[in-house]
Structures are given as C-alpha cells and as structure tokens.
Amino acid sequence: MKKIFIVTFAQLFMMCSSTSSSKFQTRDDFASASENYINSFLKSKNAFEEDKSVIILTQGFKGEKITATQNSKTIYSQYPITNLKRQYAASFAFDNQSLITIFDNFTKEEIVIEPKDASKHKYIYVMKKHEDNKSVFKVTLSNTLRSLK
C-alpha cells in the first residue's frame, strides 16, 4: 500500500512540474499590427512563403551571443539587446519545415522548435525569462504579428 502511494504521488508530482514549466504556449489574442506593417515586415525578412516563419526575440536579451542553427547551418548569430520600451530585440526568418535550435552561449540554455509547431505558425516569439537564478526560454507560437515599433 505504501509503495502504491509513493508511486502515485511521484507520478502526480511529475505531471504538475512538467505542466508548470512548459516552455511553449500558443496565443493570437493580442493586438495585431496593421496590414501595411505586416507586409513590409515580411518583405524585409523575405518571409512571405508558406514554408517560412519568423522568430522574434523579445524580452530578457542583454547582449549575450544567441545562435540559431538549422540543418547543421548557422542561420542567425548575433548579440541582441532588448529595447525595454518596445520589448523587442531582433528577428529573423527561417524554414519552418526543419528543426531549429536556438542557443544562448552565456547561459548554455537551448530551445528546439519542431517543424510540427513552426509550420502552423508564422510568428514565433522567444523571450528569456530569468527565474530561480537561471534563464530559460519561453516560446509563444502565433499567427498574429504585434507591432514592434
């Protein structure tokens, strides 16, 4: 009886902890940018095609080296800094049909975005959240572009 209780408690604890530390969410309920802004943004990123999505780095970036790789190639490598007024650091387009990995060289934190998630969303917002003396990536998958001005 005691063994069953411990196993059940352990399973319940793992389910709760994995749900609360979820790094991905889907949201489309924020104010969208104008159609002209969206078109000029996608044109500047060369991301009009259906197989292209855009990663938007938002909050928590303080100049550490961020690298994105896809198919063993580096597609982004910069030192973004978040503009606190706009909550925007940088953005880049990528092929949403392949796995993409984003790596923070300072904290050694990495996040992998699967094609099954990326291909359904045009905009992928990535923020760094600083909690419990470490930084973790939080990802919001969306089909709504918020104004970055």
Q: Which residues contact 7 (CB under 8 A, 6 or more apart)?
A: none
**Average pLDDT of the chain to the nearest whole number:** 85
Higher-pLDDT residue of 28, 87: 87
H-helix or E-strand containing 103? strand 100-104
Domain 23-142 in CATH 2.60.40? The answer is yes
Q: With 70 as the cut, is the pLDDT of residue 140 above it?
A: yes
Two structure tokens written together for 18:
């994995």
Reported pTM: 0.82
What pLDDT, on a 0 to 100 scale, did the predictor assign at position 2? 43
Nearest-angstrom CA–CA distance, 130 and 149: 24
Burial call 82-121: b when 16+ CB within 10 Å, e when fewer: beeeeebbbbebbbbeeebebbbeeeeeebebebebbeeb
Q: Which of the four pLDDT bands, split at 50, 70 and 90, describes residue 91?
A: very high
Length of the chain: 149
